[in-house]
Chains A and B, each alone.
Chain A
Amino acid sequence: MDSAPLLGSLYVAVAWLAIALLALISPGNAFFARHLAFPLGALAGLALAAFGLQAVWSPAEQMTLPLGLPDLPFHLRADPLAGFFLMLLGSVATGISVYASGYFREETAGRLALIGLQYHVFLASMAFVILADDAYLFMVAWETMALSSYFLVTTDHRQPAIRSAGFLYLLIAHLGALAILLCFGVMHGGKGDYTFDALRAAGLTPLWSTVAFLLAFFGFGAKAGMIPLHAWLPEAHPAAPSPVSALMSGIMIKTAIYGMVRVIYDLIGGVRWEWGILVLVVGAGTTLFGVLYALMQHDLKRLLAYHSVENIGIILLGLGMSMVFIGFGHPAAGALGLIAALYHTLNHAVFKGLLFLGAGSILHSTKLRNLNDMGGLIRTMPKTAFYFLIGALAISALPPLNGFVSEWLTFQTALQAPVLQNGVVRSLLPLFAATLALAGALTAMCFVKVYGIAFLGRPRESGNAAAPAGGYGHDAGNMERFGMAWLAAGCFVLGLFPTSFLLMLNRVGVSLTGQGLSNEALESNWLWLVPTAAAQASYSPVIFLIVIIGVTLLAFLLVRHFYHGRVRFADPWDCGFPDQTSRMQDTADAFGQPIRHVFGPVFLMQRHMPAPDDRAPRFSLKIEDRHWYLLYLPVARLVGYLSSKIGLLQRGRISIYLLYSFLTLIGLLVFVR
């Protein structure tokens, strides 16, 4: 490709906008939106991924658009960081768009046209967020992104629960946007120039740069879903149609990570280690909290949403470590932490997109979202089950898939702690690494639960036993399967060839921190990944894969030829209890019980135990988020109280209103005298 990456990315974003408009005005049962819009959007995504990749390896480019307000034009810029996120956006959006073209095919024309419009505006606004080179365009794109995704979340707006989920999302999105706006205001310092170049050169005092950091961390954190601002994620993700959940969880919350890195590393600059500690503490809390609550969920999409919270925590841990190292003057280790965080960002986008698409296929085919009702889906949906398994293995950080690589890199960053001068921080860092390890183990347990309960076993609820023998539902359609296969392939590529991505991310690190990895790390070849020095640690996913395959084949052959070698079909052991029903299987709630017991104080539980003589016993369990009672509801009550007081001003009488302005006028006149 000869064309410059910036111009190409701009064309892709404009193409998405054009598709959005065409989808809206297409007549005749929404032919365009039904058959062409999403595949074309996927092609555009592919092109964007290519341009992004090119931008990572090219010098930074800038461009001014003849749009915007007078004297306040839009500025665009493509540098390695933007290129990396453009690649993420393009490649993941490709898979999701292909999937969406199958998923939305049966919608009614009116709804489909609207979904086509909002979906592609959403994609284009995310591209503009990444391309923006001034605070003005950034905020315009950021708000467009929030609004278009709000309308996508409330696609089924006739259900009150979905409307309230959408409202919560919009509220927190706007709180975050307000903080970001204030952050730009602090950086800008009243000079009237909002380009990122001007913000970079602002030269803030330590106090003001800390204020700007706090605002940026809060604002972007609200979008990313870190605690205690995560409340919208588990509400909005289940409410949205599945491809939209995949887009939001896979890509949109990553734009918040992009914003965080862009503002903190690039615009504010001069990263301080105290900031890193704050990011680490919040990240560790988010990780643990997210995974513990995920384990307690039985709504599949809600569970995945809590895992998004957890993975944002993991990314924040990487970022926090990187900031600590940079703050103490170890840019090489800092670059490693940044690379680990960005790598995990890409990985999470791919596997969480895949898992949400899988959950969407289950929902589409069986209309089930409660894990306690599922079971045995592997028989009716074998292909979906296969792709879901890949996603589950990847998120559980099992080698040789991609989740492992980035978590391993994060651990490697934590192991650089001995270079730090400050003893307290040096001893804290392993603690955060331990948190990450615990979260990894709990994640694996959670996905054993999801996969075991949903795909293995037999259908649980009696209502579904009437379904055709062996299960219910049908497998995903061709387009849906292709979308999932694309992302599953991504899990393998990212997991098996990490070195090329490491080198790519190294360029991002160099462009932001001025220094990259050690020379030995840069010389690591396609086979061996070396983050710091070969004497310290190295990892070869390909050899790992070969060993796994070899051991499996060996075991298979040994069993086949030297053991009895037959396949036996038999009833499972029934403990001597003759009347077994499928409801006797372990349920999702039951599977999480040990963890619920161990971490009891974390949860707010309401249990209903049936009495011993109950003829129709029914056990019910409700787990609630403590944040609602400790943070959200008090704030909501305070706002309600203040509003009712301010509401007294509104008397509905023109005379009173005139009196207000009269008294203000008099007051101002007295003041200016």
Chain B
Amino acid sequence: MSLASQLVNLLAAFLLLIAFAMLSQRRILTLIHLFAWQGVALAASTFLVAHTTGQTHLYFSAALTVLLKVMLIPWVLHRLIDRLNVKWDVETLINIPTTMLIGIGLAIFAFALAAPISQMASTLTRSTLGIALASVLLSFLMMIVRRKAVPQVIGFLAMENGLFFAATSATYGMPLVVELGVALDVLVGTFIFGIFFFHIREQFDSLEIRHMEKLKED
């Protein structure tokens, strides 16, 4: 196994570790930092793959990731929680240890799922597909178990990270146009979420999701 491939595996392990850390993290501020670090790991692995395989468009992807997911979106989220004044602890629906156990189950499932695909793929990064899937599923789980709106959005963004990683590891990334489009979507989505937060708080004086249960039709 080459050095580059070992490094990519190391970064992938970091990615998964951060995903687990996000799942167990109660504080929103730390959550944002973890999200930013996940972006760093993602950008580094993309850069590494670009360097070893000579896929030039992956350089752009890596740069885009740094710009967007390491700098811009965390900065926006920081501003947001400052303005909304929601730095307190995050409440979860299921307690943290149980969530972690479910998360481990999901990671095993993702690896079992990715095994046959990894066999077929001939890319440098094929062994990391399971990790990518696992981080997608973990982020999804985070969205389910959090009660507040901000961590749910972070979960959503982290899911996009996982997808991006899956794309890089399975096929050396999507075409640049698609990546640009996705990046723009994520950015716009973040802004829209930000605006919604203000409206939700204005309406219910809180960002707790359960207030929206009132909207249900009987």
Q: Are B140 and A652 in contact (CB-based, < 8 A)?
A: no
Instruction: Indicate which residue in A651, A652, A654, A666 contacts B109 across the interface (CB closer than 8 Å).
Output: A666
CB distance from A673 to the nearest CB of B (A): 6
Extra inter-chain contacts (6) besides given A658-B143, A665-B140, A669-B113, CB under 8 Å: A654-B209, A655-B144, A655-B209, A662-B141, A666-B137, A673-B116
12 inter-chain pairs at a CB distance below 8 angstroms, sorted by A residue, are: A651-B216, A652-B212, A652-B214, A653-B209, A653-B210, A654-B209, A655-B145, A655-B209, A658-B144, A659-B144, A662-B141, A669-B109
Asked if B215 is an interface residue, CB under 8 A from chain A, the answer is: yes
Cα A669 to Cα B109 in complex, Å, equals 10
Task: Flag if B216 contacts A652 (CB, 8 Å).
Answer: yes
Q: Which residues of B contact A655 (CB under 8 A)?
A: 93, 144-145, 147, 209
Closest 8 CB pairs of A and B: A652-B216, A652-B213, A658-B144, A654-B209, A655-B144, A662-B140, A659-B144, A658-B143
Contacts of B215 in A (CB 8 A): 652
Tell whether, in the assembled complex, residue B216 and residue A654 are in contact, meaning their CB atoms are under 8 Å apart.
no
Closest-CB distance, B216 to chain A (whole angstroms): 3
Which chain B positions have C-beta within 8 A of A536?
A: none
Tell me the nearest residue of chain A to B146, going by C-beta. A655
Inside 8 A of A159's CB, which chain B residues have their CB? none
> Could you tell me which residues of chain B, from 163 to 218, have a CB within 8 Å of some CB in chain A?
209-210, 212-217
A655 and B145 alpha carbons, distance in the complex (Å): 7
| A673 touches which of B113, B147, B216 (Cβ 8 Å) | B113
CB distance from A645 to the nearest CB of B (A): 15
User: CB-CB contacts of A636-673 with B at 8 A, as 1s and 0s?
Assistant: 00000000000000111111001100100110010001
B213 and A653 contacting across the interface, CB-CB below 8 Å: yes
CA distance A665 to B159 in the complex (A): 13
Tally B residues with Cβ within 8 Å of A: 20
Instruction: Give complex CA distance A657, B73 in Å.
Output: 26
Residues of chain A within 8 A (CB-CB) of B113 are: 669, 673
> Which residues of chain B are within 8 angstroms of A653 by Cβ–Cβ distance?
209-210, 213
* Interface membership of B152, Cβ < 8 A: yes
A659–B145 CA distance with the chains assembled, in angstroms: 9
CA distance A655 to B147 in the complex (A): 8
List residues of A (470-517) whose CB comes within 8 Å of B's CBs. none
Closest residue on chain A to residue B215 by CB atoms? A652
> Could you tell me which B residues sit within 8 Å of A by CB distance?
93, 109, 113, 116, 137, 140-141, 143-145, 147, 152, 209-210, 212-217
Contact A662 B209 (CB under 8 A): no
With a cutoff of 8 Å between Cβ atoms, the chain A residues found around residue B214 in the complex are: 652
The chain B residue sitting closest to A656, CB to CB, is B144
Contact A662:B144 (CB < 8 A) given known A654-B152, A669-B113, A673-B116: yes
- CB-nearest residue of chain A to B213: A652
- Chain A residue with the shortest CB-CB distance to B210: A653
Q: How far is the CB of B31 from chain A (nearest CB, A)?
A: 17
Q: How far is the CB of A148 from chain B (nearest CB, A)?
A: 29
Bound complex: CA A673 to CA B113 (Å) = 7
| Residue among A650, A654, A658 making CB contact with B140, cutoff 8 Å | A658
**B93 / chain A contacts, CB cutoff of 8 Å:** 655
Collect the chain B residues with CB atoms within 8 Å of residue A662's CB.
137, 140-141, 144
Interface size on A, residues (CB 8 A): 13
Q: B178 to nearest A CB, angstroms?
A: 21
A651 CA to B144 CA in the complex, in Å? 14
A652 contacts which chain B residues (CB < 8 A)?
212-216
Please, how many angstroms separate the alpha-carbon atoms of A669 and B145 in the complex? 21
A571 to B106, CA, bound (A): 98
Tell me the smallest distance from the CB of A330 to a CB of chain B, in Å: 59
Q: Which residue of A lies closest to B109 (CB)?
A: A666
Q: Which residues of A contact B145 (CB under 8 A)?
A: 655
Q: In the complex, A669 Cα to B116 Cα: how many Å?
A: 13
**Complex: A652 Cα to B145 Cα, angstroms:** 15
Nearest-neighbour CB distance to chain A for B10, whole angstroms, equals 26
Give Cα A628 to B195, complex, Å: 51
Cβ distance A552 to chain B, nearest Cβ, rounded Å: 69
Closest to B142 in A: A658
* Min C-beta distance of A657 to chain B, whole Å: 9
Residue of B nearest to A662 (CB): B140
| Assembly CA distance A654 to B213 (angstroms) | 8
How far, in angstroms, from A658 to B93 measured CA to CA in the complex? Answer: 13
B116 to A, closest residue via Cβ: A673
Closest Cβ–Cβ distance, residue A251 to chain B (whole Å): 39
Report the nearest A residue to B217, measured CB to CB: A650
How long is the Cα–Cα vector from A658 to B145 in the complex, in angstroms?
Answer: 9
Give Cα A599 to B181, complex, Å. Answer: 72
- Given the complex, which residues of A lie within 8 Å of B109, measured CB to CB? 666, 669
Q: Taking CB as reference atom, which chain B residue is nearest A654? A: B209
Bound Cα distance from A556 to B212, whole angstroms? 85
User: Known: A662-B140, A662-B144, A666-B109. Contact between A654 and B116, CB under 8 A?
Assistant: no
Q: Name the B residues within 8 Å of A651 (CB-CB).
A: 213, 216
* Least Cβ–Cβ distance between B141 and chain A, in angstroms: 7
Measured between beta carbons, the chain A residues less than 8 angstroms from B212 are 652, 654
Chain A nearest CB from B218 CB (Å) reads 9
B144: chain A residues within 8 A (beta carbon) = 655, 658-659, 662
> What is the CB-to-nearest-CB distance from B70 to chain A, in angstroms, rounded to a whole number?
26
The distance in angstroms between the C-alpha atoms of A659 and B212, with both chains bound, is: 16
Q: Contacts of B147 on A, CB cut-off 8 Å?
A: 655
Chain A residue at minimum C-beta to C-beta distance from B106: A666
CA distance A58 to B214 in the complex (A): 65
A669→B113 CA distance, assembly (Å): 8
Q: Which residue of B lies closest to A660 (CB)?
A: B144
A665 to B93, CA, bound (A): 21
Interface centre among B143, B145, B147, B215 (most CB of A within 10 A): B143
Nearest CB of A to B9, in Å: 23
A666 to B134, CA, bound (A): 12
A669 to B140, CA, bound (A): 14
Which residues of A lie under 8 Å from residue B216 when comparing CB positions? 650-652
Q: How far is the CA of A654 from the CA of B147 in the complex (A)?
A: 9
A448–B152 CA distance with the chains assembled, in angstroms:
74
Which chain A residue shows the least CB distance to B143?
A: A658
Contacts of B217 in A (CB 8 A): 650
CA distance A650 to B218 in the complex (A): 9
